[in-house]
């Protein structure tokens, strides 16, 4: 089988590529083993030294390029996106990549006529505004960012293209992914990784929100498992709606740093400097932090069991078990 | 002031044009009286014999044409759409008009840099699938038609363009409009007008659903009043979300025909032939019929007080008071 990943050059795209190449069996519903994995991004992703992996440059906003990219794909993971703060700062770029890009991909998959399976990385940023204390599977979407609006519109299209039988789509609403490796990005949530990653690497990190700020988190390990699980579910598992909130962990930023202290000691935890910044605090406070993701749980998606599990996984996966 | 109506050649577009030309004062928030009303549709709408009215041909799917259309508009009513059954039968046409057309309009209004006011005709077709017994202002949108998905995506964009300050938009979710004058159209709901209109004009009409089928209705008079009311509300009335469900009347098809009997007599009511058709019954049964539109009511939108009021208004407005 042939699999395509958009946004394959990103942190999650690379992890997903490695996970797919490392699997012995194709996702349920596919008969043939992985023969070709195309990793697409604006710049070709780094090679992964596997003959099945083909890194390619593709601008998701270019309809013809996308059509060529997915012409004979059996399964596509659509991770390419302009992140929240960036899509807010550059509206046109966000629309082009997050909305037109998704549309281009859906049209390209439809044009192939093979009803390929699509896993779309949406986000809990689709929620916003006046929300109940706990988000349920029937909470309405009133996004208050362009990123959230573009993801919500993308979900509507994924659902309708699936309903029409053009594709077999599934949209996963991702919690904030923590701990990301690498550099901070333009997402307003980037600090949530920084305050764990930097201290563990021997560097200071600034936390721009107060310790009582609650967040809804999922680890890289678990979100990769969720992508793979979503790819193998039968369409019938989704019923009449192709979107699902991924189960995550609700934890305050104060608890996150206390966990870091428990796992890595006082010296490491002391590398977090608390410097609340009104602008970031306001954005993060607007994000929902408490969810009752019954649908996702019933479909077999799983959250991390504790924030400690998330920190220990980061130390294992990204630091080779070593703390600075 | 200059006002533009898209879909001005349709039944509601024409009524709205006449209502705007007949008003003595501009909507609240506008300082100058109506100087120019541009009525746009794929074919130029019939002239209305008012020097302020300019019928023009404009394909809403053509971005450049739309930009010229609304270049200096103060207020736009966006009624142009491919209706439900048509958008379902011709997916590409529905996407082009209902989604790309709305996007073209939003981009054109943004490009003008004048933050014009926009009233967008959405629909209760944004609801679908597993719904609560009564739809509230916080019920989630899981549309099960392409028309509904396109309208829901349009609402997301109207909200985001408004939030960004590019336009001052308001989206109205219209109930089924009854009684429409003229010919049946391609909407699955067209029978709801036919079973009143045709008998009153001396003709037979077929009712393809059972008498116990409930519908959520609004009269042409009330929806025109709602468009005008929406145009005059301050942006603050919408808070952080620009969509509102219009209050309507929940009535069964059996009650509709019994009202026709009460108003126009047995002979007229006997012109309705009951011939349930599984396909139409299934579509209409999937539409929500019961709503608690608190938000719309609190904003001053009003439903018809009875179905009899709707029938009598049709006889007055369209039949000159005469029943065949």
Q: What is the pLDDT of residues B78-97, one digit of tens each?
A: 999 998 889 999 999 999 99
pLDDT given at position B285: 86
The CB-side HSE value for A6 (13 A sphere, CA atoms) comes to: 31
- The residue among A88, A142, A245 with the most chain B CBs within 10 A of its CB, best to mutate, is A142
Domains of chain B: 2-175+219-245 (3.40.50.720), 190-215+249-291+304-319 (3.90.25.10)
- The verdict on A37 touching B (C-beta cutoff 8 Å) is no
Q: For the purposes of burial, counting CB atoms within 10 Å of the CB of B116, is it exposed (0-12), middle (13-18) or buried (19 or more)?
A: buried
- What is the rounded average pLDDT of the residues B260-275? 97
Contacts of A147 in chain B (CB under 8 A): none
- Token pair 């935890």 is found at A269
**Token digits for A114?**
């093979």
Angle between helices B220-232 and B11-22 (to 10 degrees): 60
**What's chain B's average pLDDT?**
96
Considering only the beta carbons, identify the residue of A146, A156, A163 that sits closest to B153.
A156
pLDDT computed for residue B160 by the predictor? 98
Report the relative pairing of strands B214-218 and B249-252 from DSSP bridges. Answer: antiparallel
Task: Please give the full DSSP string across A126-165, using - where no structure is assigned.
Answer: G--SS--SSB-TTB-----SHHHHHHHHHHHHHHHHHHTT
Return the exposure string of B90-111: e unless at least 16 CB atoms fall within 10 Å of the residue's CB, then b.
Answer: ebeebbbbbbbbbbbbbbbbbe
Matching residue, tokens 């944004």:
B126
A161, A154 contact by CB (below 8 A)? no
Name the A residues in 131-150 with CB < 8 Å from any B CB.
132, 138-144, 146, 149-150
Judge whether A187 is closer than 8 Å to chain B, CB to CB. Answer: no
Sign of the torsion formed by the C-alpha atoms of A204, A205, A210 and A211: negative
CB B187 within 8 A of CB B287: no
Judged by DSSP in three states, B27 sits in coil
pLDDT digits (tens, 9 = 90+) for A165-204: 999 999 999 999 999 999 888 888 999 999 999 999 999 9
What is d(CA B237, CA A77) in angstroms, rounded to the nearest whole number? 41
* Dihedral (Cα; A186, A189, A190, A196), 10-degree rounding: 180
- Which chain B residues are Cβ-neighbours of A241 within 8 angstroms? 129-130, 142
Flag whether pLDDT at B279 surpasses 90: no
H-state helical runs in chain B: 11-22, 63-69, 84-89, 91-94, 101-112, 146-163, 190-200, 220-232, 253-264, 266-269, 278-285, 294-298, 307-319
Asked if B99 and B154 touch (Cβ cutoff 8 Å), the reply is yes
Choose among A142, A109, A138, A111: nearest CA to A125. Answer: A142
- Burial track A28-50 (b if 16+ CB lie within 10 A, e otherwise): eebeeebeebbbbbeeebeebee
Q: Which residues contact B161 (CB under 8 A, 6 or more apart)?
A: B106, B109, B110, B167, B169
- Answer yes or no: do A152 and B149 touch at CB < 8 A: no
Nearest chain A alpha carbon to B241: A142
Angle subtended by helix axes B253-264 and B190-200, to nearest 10: 20
Choose, out of A153, A165, A166, the residue to mutate when testing the contact with B (most B CBs < 10 Å): A153
- Selected residues 73-92 of chain A with any CB under 8 Å from a CB in chain B: 91
Confidence label for B186 from pLDDT (cuts 50, 70 and 90): confident
Q: φ, ψ for residue A212 (rounded to 5)?
A: -85, 0
How many Å lie between the alpha carbon of A318 and the closest alpha carbon of chain B? Answer: 38
Distance CA A188, CA A282 (A): 10
Per the listing, tokens 């309208």 go with B151
Report yes or no: B320 at the A interface, CB cutoff 8 Å: no
pLDDT at A279: 86
Q: Which residues of chain A have pLDDT under 70?
A: none
B:216-255 residues touching chain A, CB 8 A cutoff? 239-241
Coarse DSSP helix, strand, coil percentages of chain A, rounded to the nearest 5 percent? 45, 20, 40
Two tokens, residue B135: 């739809």
Question: What pLDDT score was predicted for residue A282?
Answer: 86
Confidence of residue B309 (pLDDT cuts 50, 70, 90): very high
ipTM over 0.85: yes
Q: How far is A124 from chain B (nearest CA, A)?
A: 14
pLDDT of amino acid B101: 98
Q: What number is the average pLDDT over the span B40-45? A: 97
């Amino acid at each position: 089988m042939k699999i395509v990943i958009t946004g394959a050059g990103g942190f999650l795209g690379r992890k997903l590529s490695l996970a797919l190449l490392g699997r012995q069996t194709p996702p349920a519903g596919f008969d043939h083993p992985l023969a070709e994995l195309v990793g697409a991004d604006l710049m070709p992703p780094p090679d992964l030294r596997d003959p099945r992996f083909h890194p390619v440059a593709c601008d998701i906003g270019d309809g013809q390029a996308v059509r060529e990219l997915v012409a004979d794909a059996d399964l596509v993971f659509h991770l390419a996106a302009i992140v929240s703060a960036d899509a807010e700062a550059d509206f046109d770029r966000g629309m082009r990549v997050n909305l037109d890009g998704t549309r281009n991909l859906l049209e390209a998959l439809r044009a192939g006529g093979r009803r390929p399976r699509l896993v779309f990385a949406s986000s809990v940023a689709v929620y916003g505004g006046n929300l109940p204390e706990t988000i349920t599977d029937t909470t309405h979407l009133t996004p208050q960012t362009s990123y959230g609006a573009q993801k919500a519109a993308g979900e509507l299209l994924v659902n309708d293209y699936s309903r029409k039988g053009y594709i077999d789509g599934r949209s996963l609403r991702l919690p904030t992914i923590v701990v990301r490796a690498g550099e901070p990005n333009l997402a307003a949530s980037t600090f949530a990784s920084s305050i764990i990653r930097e201290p563990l690497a021997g560097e200071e990190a600034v936390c721009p929100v107060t310790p009582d700020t609650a967040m809804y988190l999922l680890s890289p390990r678990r979100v990769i498992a969720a992508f793979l699980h979503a790819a193998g579910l039968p369409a019938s598992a989704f019923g009449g709606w192709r979107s699902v909130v991924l189960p995550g962990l609700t934890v305050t930023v104060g608890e996150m740093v206390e966990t870091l202290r428990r796992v890595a000691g006082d010296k490491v935890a002391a590398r977090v400097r608390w410097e609340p910044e009104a602008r970031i605090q306001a954005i993060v406070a607007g994000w929902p932090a408490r969810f009752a993701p019954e649908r996702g749980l019933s479909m077999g998606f799983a959250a991390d069991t504790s924030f400690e599990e998330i920190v220990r996984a980061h130390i294992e996966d990204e630091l080779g078990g070593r703390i600075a």
